[in-house]
Amino acid sequence: MPPFDPEKAKKVLKGGEDLPDLVISQLKDLISTISKLYHNNSFHNFDHASHVTMSANKLLQRIVTPAAQENGEFLKEAHEYTFGLTSDPLTQFAIVFSTIIHDLDHSGVGNPQLIKEKNRLASMYGGKSVAEQNSIDLALDLLTSTTYSDLLSCICADEEDFRRLRQLVINCVMATDIFDKELLTLRNNRWKKAFNENDEWTPDLKATIV
């Protein structure tokens, strides 16, 4: 996460800045295009992605509380307490974007079966988080297309911002692969590191994400 910036934190607290009409139009078109890349599966469909997105957004609203005071010390404490999430709009966007694209182009067949059938995608991604990697590639290719250049420029100020956005999206979507034992171990270790049972803040921190 980037270092604490009090001015940026205040902007986030106020809800950010108004977007130009062109950017809003591109954002709407992007979501519409994403919806059309979902298949009519019984579960891994656009309805499911929309529900996950609304849930993630609600959780973010509970963490990035609009009721907070614009006190510099409070904002800095909130930044540290939430691992920088409250004052980093790029991470907030990455989380919401990841939820809406996490099952993009999903065939309705799980990774183990795709690997067993030697599906084209399974071969392409070496049998590793097949559906997830496909969703990530399609979504990032779409976002970086010239059709959404103004939107992307609004999200990322420079190449460094885009590299961070890309990595955040990869981390979020890959975390949805519940069958990969290696990723499961990694997630469990991260949980233990973030929520140390010996830390007096642990119960409150867990409450912010449950």
User: How confident is the model over 44-87, as pLDDT tens digits?
Assistant: 999 999 999 999 999 888 776 544 455 556 667 766 767 777 77
Phi/psi at 84 (5° precision): 90, 0
Mean pLDDT of the chain: 85
| Total-model pTM | 0.83
Reported as a single tens digit per residue, the pLDDT across 146-185 is 999 999 999 999 999 999 999 999 999 999 998 888 888 8
| CB contact at 8 A, 4 and 87 | yes
Nearest to residue 39, comparing CAs of 97, 102, 104? Answer: 104
How far apart (Å, rounded) are the C-alpha atoms in residues 169 and 205? 23
Contact 205, 194 (CB under 8 A): yes
Residue whose C-alpha is closest to residue 97's, from 128, 62, 143 = 143
Angstrom distance (rounded) from CA 128 to CA 134: 11
Q: Which residue has the tokens 């309805």?
A: 47
